[in-house]
Structure formats: C-alpha cells, structure tokens
C-alpha cells in the first residue's frame, strides 16, 4: 500500500472538482481525503500504487468541464495513518498552491429545467444554481472558496439545502451559492422609490416593460436598464437617463433563433453566444428586423447576448417579447449601480432589486469577430479573474493600472497575468475609487500580499498615474512609466509569446516620447519585450486645431490635415462645403488657430484620420462617445467596395517611414465628385491599412524580422485588419493580433505589466 500527497492548482475551486475527485477515488478503490487548501486543492491518496497512478492519469484528462488544471504536484509520503474511506474535509486556510477563482458563468440547462419544473421546490426561483453554474467571482470575498468566504453567508441554508449541499451525489454538493425560496435572497419591486406590495415582483416588472416602461434590474454583477426593443420612446428616455445620445445599447434575445432574425450569425459568433460565458457579441444587423433604430444608431452591427441567469429566463417566461434592450446602468464614466439606493436614484420608472451583496461588480464582456478571429472589446463577466498565461515568468509581483479610458488593472505574478474586470474611464473620481477597490480585491482573492513594481502610463496627468504613485508609496514599490503604444505592442507580444516583431500600434491617442500625441505608430522590437522599441514609422503628424475640440468635432481635423496642402482661402471654401461647422465665423477662428499655431497640438493618430474621413463624407460631424466617427465610417464603408484609387504615399522623415495622410484625405475629398461615398469610404480604409502594412513590412525586411501585427483600438476594424493581414501574408510575413486581452486600452495594463516585469 502507498500514500501520496497531491497539490492541484488552476481553476479547481468552485467548479465541482471535489465531488468529481471523491467519486473518482471511490471508483479506484482509494481512501484518504480532499480539501481546499488556501488557493489550491490538497489530496491525500491511500491505496494500491497502481490505482493511485491510474487515478492521477484520469485526473489529468477527465476533470469537470469548468475546471482548468494547470499544475499537479505529487509527493510520496507516509503519514503512518491508514484511512478506511475517502472523505471531503473542511477547507484549510493557508496559502499553499496557486489556485484560481472561476468566473461567473451562465446558469446551466439542468438548473433552468428545475426553475420551470412545477414539482421542484425551486419552481420559478431566479437564484437557482448548482456546482456547474452561477456566480463565483462577484460573490467571493477571500480564499478559500467556501460559502462563509462569500456574500452568500448572509443567507444561512435551510435543512433541505444543507442536505443537498452535503450529499456528494447531488448536483448541488458544495455549491456555495446554493439556496431556495425558503432560505435564499429575493427580489423586491419599486416604483420610483416606493416599494410595491405585489405577489410576484418579477411578473409585475415584466408587465411594466411590456407597457413601454423602463425597469432597472439588479442581476449577477450589476444592474441593467431594461425595456422593449420595438418602441422608440423608452429607448430615447434611457438615453436621457444615462446621457448617452448615440452610444449603442446591447440587447438580450430570447434564444439563438430569435437573435438570427435581426442579426447575421456565423459559426464563431454562435459559439460565443451559446458558450457558458455568454458575452455580448457584436453582430451584423439584418435590414428590416423590426427593432428600433435608436438601439445602435448609425452602426451596421448590434450587441447581442443570450440569457445567462435565472432572472433573465424568467423575464422571457412572463413575456412575449423576442428581445429586450439591456444596457448597463451607469452614467458615462462611472461604475454600474449595485446597491438599492444607487439603483433607485437612476431615474428608471421601476426597479427590480435583490438583496445579495455584490462584492465585485462585473460588467458584461463584449466580443467581436475580426478577420475570422474572436477579440475582446471588453473582457469582464465570464472571463475575469481567469489569468492570461504568459510564456515567460516574472520574478517580481507587478501591478499595472492601464491608461485613462476603458481601464483594467493587471497583477502579474509568475507567469499569470490577472486582469481585473472592466473598470471604465478614470476621469471620474468614483471610477478611480472603483479601480482602487478592484485592485485590492484582485490581490485578496489571488493571495498577492505585496507589490514590487507599479507601472502606469507615460502621460503625466492621468488619474491612474497619480493613483499608481500612491500605491507605489503604499507598497514601498518601484514606480515606472510606460509609453502608451509601447505597452500596446508589449501586450500583443506577451499574449502571443513572441520576442521579435514589427508591430502597428493604431488608436486614437497616446502620449508620445516627443510630447506630441501619437496614435499611428510602427514599432520594431528585436530582442524581447525587455528591450526598448524603435519607432520605425508613423502616420504624418497633423495639426489638431482646438486640441480636444478637434476630437469632438472631426471637421477641425479636416482643417488641420488639409492645411498642409491648401492655402487658407481655398481651405475655407473646402470647409464650407463639408458642412461640419456651425457657421463661417467658426471656420475663420479655426484657420487663425492653425496659422498662429495657437492651441494646435500635433498628432499622428489613426483615429483622428478616420474621424476626418468620416467628416469629409458627411457621416459624422460630432463625436458623442469614444470612437463614434470611426465606427460610423466602418459601418458606412461596409456597404461599399474598395475600388476607388486612393494614393498610398510613404515618405522618409526624421529617419522613419511616414504615411502622408494629407494626400490620402485630399484624394477622398476629390473623389466625392465621381464616386459613391460608400465606395470612397471602403477605399480610404484600404489605403490607410495598406500604407501602415507597407511601412511595417519594409521595417521588418530591413531588420530580418519575420513577424508583424497590430494592436490598439483600430484593430477592431475588420476591414483594416483584413487588408493588413492579407498584405503581410502575401509578402511572407506572419501577422499577429490579440484574443486573450483586449487590443484596445483594456489590454494596456497587460503590456505595462510585461514591460515592467521583463525590464527588471
């Protein structure tokens, strides 16, 4: 007889791992125990040596579907004690091992069946979950993952639930969120701030929605504002409540067949929608689908998700609606509402609120298929806190805070990069406080006791930079700043495990090493992330008359870009013709700014060029949310063909290749007299993509580097990425994108962490 002590790490707590091991050990005739041990799982196996080996082999290949075993350590031991059975012991609270808390996942089919089984004691109970599904990350307070360490400790189990919880053969065995109507949380319905005494709050909420009302519904990780998809008035009212004039809203469809009636769904998108992670997926709209045009105005796609919790299934049970508008309940730049007072103050006509404390608020993840590959626009529910595994190991604990917009934090320990849930735009104090909380919660659940290095963006005025300095002082850690686009390329390299690349960092803005605004950069990195980059190319630096006003009003960028080619009097006529200014007096002010270089910074941003193209073609003259002109341009271009000749002029300036975007925009302007605007838009995107790809290829060829790639917000543009990829492959170069972390600013923290770790 032999004994072995086994430590298993990975996602092995809260995923049915202990009951699986229990049943497997019994089948192999083994005695001993299993228990959660800090942030790992510990086994003691007592039995025949061959049976132990067979058990371990099965463990590696046949674990529960939500489990992700990343390490099995086997230690031959001899306790001197013989075990007569295999048992599940109470968790141990030390920190041995390196386990990972699983993310919140969709309610499983078995639990949905229970909810609608009239003979089941959980009939129509929205909080029905089991070991295979339900909330995890949003409820956990600390390791090990046991009920008393989660917010579900507020709901002591009744006798029936306790029996299921302790029955190893039951699906709810050791399911920490398990509960029932007799002992679990409940929903309450409010009209304005008045609690309504109604027999079924959920049914009453659905009745309100069907009558055209707006209902704030507290869910798994936060709150949504919900209304019908077919009526304009309540959707416009939500826009007023949230101060979102045109920013697209997501919808939740009853099922995949319903979603296919108003959006095109390919194989990859279907897999994402139906996965247990249930993200929002950006899908191409179908014309004449019968839903309001105010849901995603000016765009050719719409964000769609399927029901992922009991409350969602019950909404559709009580309703005949095919889909609901379901958008995060937060004003721009601030976190989602999660407690009753916050929810009641939103301004919805009704509020459906449950009494579970949300420890870690977590917005919906958003994904899109770009160039036949799934990418994150927002990585949050369903994925966090699962880490991104890196090829190289950090010898220090690194904390990175991202940039300013679409912020996530990242903690790098060893090879594991733990990205926080989506936090948002840290220009607001509440969101900055949320970031601080998210960092400390991430440290707590991953047992990171100290931080050695804090990394932030190079921009001196970002709130994240100030918070980073405070945290560096708090942890007595080294403090470093990372150039924005270098962090983009580092993120691309880290998740793909590559050491040499010529990468395109293409986005709206980032603080450059020369003090100007960068955003269309080509960097060569020759010897690993730890080595500095060479700026081998960029877009032509252009004037931004009015600074931030040129971001909000793209016609100002048209003036700045074309001022390099047209004299002031001719340019004035051009600007009058594109109708992007309130009056001619404003045009004169802008022209004087350019002439005197007053409040006219310089930028090489790709985003600003796309904005200018959008303005010249009359697509968007005012940006009301991040990336709007470029997103509308992409939608508009999808209706055209790239058959208009747009010159790709590359010059050598200051020892780097520069794409002349003045010539590009002028060609767009002149093409309006001969071609369909949709074809011009498609052709302009292609010219921009081919210009950036050509610069990257030339730089790579000169340095003997065989890999190219793209990161940054422009990497969400399917047409641009496709053109760049095709050109790179035609020329014999590899082409890399990202699908483990967002390629936009939500992935900046991963790049910062990698830069900090591998520069030490």
Catalytically active residues, by annotation? 18, 36
Tokens at 57, concatenated: 């082999």
Question: With the CA atoms of 340, 345, 350 and 354 taken in that order, what torsion angle do they form, in degrees rounded to the nearest 10?
Answer: -10
Residue 598: Cβ within 10 Å count? 10
Q: Which residues contact 670 (CB under 8 A, 6 or more apart)?
A: none
The number of CA neighbours under 13 Å toward the Cβ of 485 is 35
Confirm if 146 and 174 have CB atoms less than 8 A apart: no
Distance CA 386, CA 377 (A): 17
Q: Is 291 helix (H, G, I), strand (E, B) or coil?
A: coil
Q: Looking at the DSSP assignment, which residues form a beta bridge with residue 424?
A: 407
Cα 699 to chain center, whole Å? 31
Tokens at 204, concatenated: 């009453």
DSSP 282: E
Confirm if 9 and 66 have CB atoms less than 8 A apart: no
Tokens at 38, concatenated: 């800090």
**H runs (alpha helix) in 224-322:** 232-242, 256-262, 267-274, 310-318
Confirm if 744 and 713 have CB atoms less than 8 A apart: yes
* Nearest Cα to Cα of residue 614 among 518, 684, 538, 510: 684
Q: Give per-residue burial for 10-22: e unless 16+ CB within 10 Å, then b.
A: bbbbbbbbbbbbb
Q: Looking at the DSSP assignment, which residues form a beta bridge with residue 325?
A: 227, 251
Distance CA 706, CA 684 (A): 27
* Nearest Cα to Cα of residue 450 among 480, 409, 413, 408: 413
Confirm if 500 and 526 have CB atoms less than 8 A apart: yes
Confirm if 607 and 521 have CB atoms less than 8 A apart: no
Distance CA 481, CA 511 (A): 11
Confirm if 134 and 105 have CB atoms less than 8 A apart: yes
* Nearest Cα to Cα of residue 524 among 657, 700, 710, 701: 700
In order of 97, 493, 494, the CA distances from 391 in angstroms are: 20, 10, 8
DSSP 105: B
Distance CA 667, CA 138 (A): 52
Q: Give per-residue burial for 89-100: e unless 16+ CB within 10 Å, then b.
A: eebeeeeebbbb
Q: What is the largest CA-CA distance in the chain?
A: 95
* Secondary structure element (H or E) that encloses residue 165, with its range: helix 159-166
């Amino acid at each position: 007889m032999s004994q072995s002590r086994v430590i298993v790490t990975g996602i092995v707590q809260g995923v049915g791992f202990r009951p699986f091991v229990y049943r497997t050990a019994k089948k192999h005739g083994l005695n001993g125990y299993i228990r959660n041990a800090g942030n790992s799982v510990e086994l003691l196996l007592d039995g025949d040596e061959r049976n132990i080996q067979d058990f371990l082999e099965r463990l590696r290949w046949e674990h529960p579907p939500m489990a992700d075993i990343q390490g099995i350590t086997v230690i031959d031991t001899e306790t001197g004690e013989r075990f007569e059975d295999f048992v599940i012991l109470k968790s141990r609270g030390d920190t041995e091992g390196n386990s990972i808390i699983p993310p919140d996942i969709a309610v499983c089919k078995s639990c949905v069946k229970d909810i609608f089984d009239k003979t089941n004691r959980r009939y129509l109970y929205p909080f029905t979950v089991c070991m295979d599904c339900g909330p995890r990350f949003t409820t956990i307070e600390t390791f090990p993952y046991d009920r008393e360490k989660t917010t579900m400790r507020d709901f002591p189990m009744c006798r029936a639930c306790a029996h299921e919880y302790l029955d190893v053969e039951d699906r709810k065995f050791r399911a920490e969120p398990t509960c029932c109507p007799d002992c679990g949380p409940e929903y309450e319905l409010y009209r304005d701030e008045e609690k309504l005494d109604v027999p079924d709050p959920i049914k009453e909420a659905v009745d309100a929605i069907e009558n055209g009302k707006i209902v704030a519904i507290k869910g798994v990780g936060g709150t949504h504002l919900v209304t019908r998809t077919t009526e304009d008035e309540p959707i416009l009212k939500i826009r007023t409540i949230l101060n979102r004039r045109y920013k697209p809203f997501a919808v939740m469809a009853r099922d995949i067949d319903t979603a296919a009636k108003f959006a095109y769904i390919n194989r990859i998108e279907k897999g994402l929608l139906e996965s247990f992670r249930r993200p929002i997926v950006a899908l191409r709209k179908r014309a004449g689908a019968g839903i309001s045009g105010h849901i995603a105005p000016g765009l050719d796609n719409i964000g769609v998700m399927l029901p992922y919790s009991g409350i969602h299934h019950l909404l559709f049970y009580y309703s005949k609606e095919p889909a609901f508008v379901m958008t995060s309940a937060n004003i721009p730049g601030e976190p989602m509402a999660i407690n009753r007072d916050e929810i009641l103050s939103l301004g919805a006509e009704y509020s459906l609120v449950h009494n579970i404390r949300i420890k870690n608020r977590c917005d919906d993840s958003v994904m899109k298929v770009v160039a036949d590959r799934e990418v994150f626009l927002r990585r949050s529910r369903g994925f966090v806190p699962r880490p991104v595994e890196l090829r190289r190991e950090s010898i220090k604990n690194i904390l990175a805070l991202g940039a300013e917009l679409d912020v996530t934090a990242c903690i790098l320990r060893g090879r594991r990069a733990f990205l926080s849930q989506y936090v948002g735009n840290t220009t607001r104090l509440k969101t900055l406080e949320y970031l601080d909380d998210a960092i400390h919660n991430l440290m707590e659940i991953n047992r990171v006791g100290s931080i050695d290095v804090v990394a932030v963006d190079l921009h001196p005025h970002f709130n994240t930079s100030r918070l980073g300095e405070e945290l560096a002082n708090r942890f007595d850690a080294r403090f470093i700043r990372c150039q924005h686009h270098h962090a983009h390329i580092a993120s691309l390299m880290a998740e793909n495990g590559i050491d040499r690349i010529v990468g395109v960092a293409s986005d709206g803005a980032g603080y450059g090493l020369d003090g100007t605004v960068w955003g269309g950069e080509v960097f060569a990195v020759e010897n690993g992330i730890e080595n500095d980059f060479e700026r081998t190319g960029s877009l032509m630096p252009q004037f931004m008359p009015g600074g931030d006003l040129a971001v909000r009003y793209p016609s100002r960028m048209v003036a700045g870009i074309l001022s390099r080619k047209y004299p002031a009097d001719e340019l004035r006529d051009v600007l009058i013709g594109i109708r992007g200014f309130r009056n001619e007096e404003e045009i004169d002010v802008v022209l004087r700014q350019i002439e005197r270089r007053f409040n006219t910074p310089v930028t090489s941003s790709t985003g600003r060029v796309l904005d200018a193209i959008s303005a010249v073609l009359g697509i968007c003259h005012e940006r009301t949310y991040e990336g709007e002109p470029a997103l509308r341009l992409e939608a508009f271009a999808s209706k055209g063909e790239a058959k208009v000749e747009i010159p790709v002029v590359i010059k050598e300036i200051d020892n780097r290749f520069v794409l002349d975007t003045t010539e590009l925009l002028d060609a767009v302007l002149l093409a309006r007299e001969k071609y369909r605007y949709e074809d011009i838009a498609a052709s302009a995107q292609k010219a921009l993509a081919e210009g950036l790809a050509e610069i990257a290829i030339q730089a790579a060829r000169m340095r003997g580097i065989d890999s190219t790639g793209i990161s940054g917000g422009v990497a969400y543009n399917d047409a641009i990425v496709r053109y760049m990829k095709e050109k790179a492959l035609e020329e014999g170069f590899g082409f890399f994108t990202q699908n483990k972390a967002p390629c936009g600013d939500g992935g900046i923290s991963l790049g910062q962490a990698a830069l900090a770790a591998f520069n030490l």
